[in-house]
Amino acid sequence: MPSVEQVCRTDSGLAASLRVSVARLHRRLRMEHADDVGVSFGAAAVLALLRREGDQTIGQLAAAERVRPPSMTRTVSCLEDDGLVARHPHPTDGRQVVISLTEQGEELLAAERRRRDAWLARRLRELTPDERAALRQAAPILERLSFS
């Protein structure tokens, strides 16, 4: 029974290991998130993106989250129903719709931010400093891997 470390020595082994780890960790994070009040996992990501990058069109949000436009329309509609984002007409292009965080959205984001990351942050604190450093190096690479 080969260990994770051994499997990772080859590129295809590393690929296989990352694929499985990412899938499991994703499911786990979703589960932890379910305990939170308010918005869903995907919707929270959109709020965070709006906070980081400012106003975005539906298309931009969809591209950033690696999702098709209809999926993003649905997510944004949910957020709008909850009063967390607002739709505005695009200043020069009547086809596009600009989405912005409402004040209520900002508040929810600020209030829930610590709680949303609580589980993972706690798990991270249980790691050794070296392990955290390893993840710190890996995070931006993982970030880039999902873009072609």
Partner DNA sequence: CACTTTAGTTAGCAAGGCTAATGAGTTAAG
Partner DNA sequence: CTTAACTCATTAGCCTTGCTAACTAAAGTG
Strand partners, 86: 100
Rounded-to-integer distance, Cα 110 and Cα 112, Å: 6
DSSP-derived 3-state class of residue 56: strand
Tokens of 16: 């296989």
- 78 is a site residue for a copy of itself (CB under 8 A): no
**Nearest distance from C-beta of residue 84 to DNA, angstroms:** 14
Per-residue binding string, a copy of itself, 83-122, x by CB under 8 A, is: ------------------------------xx-xx--xx-
Smaller CB separation from DNA, 95 or 125: 95
**In this chain, which of 18, 63, 86, 98 binds a copy of itself, going by CB under 8 A?**
18
94 makes contact, choosing from DNA, a copy of itself, none, with CB < 5 to 8 Å by partner type, with DNA
Rounded-to-integer distance, Cα 84 and Cα 88, Å: 14
Give the single-character DSSP code of 89: E
- 74 is a site residue for a copy of itself (CB under 8 A): no
Contacts for 67-74: CB closer than 8 Å, 24+ residues apart: 67/42, 72/46
Rounded-to-integer distance, Cα 113 and Cα 43, Å: 13
Binding site for a copy of itself (CB under 8 A): 1-2, 4-5, 8-9, 11-12, 14-29, 31, 41-42, 45, 48, 52-53, 65-67, 113-114, 116-117, 120-121, 123-125, 127, 131-132, 134-143, 145-146
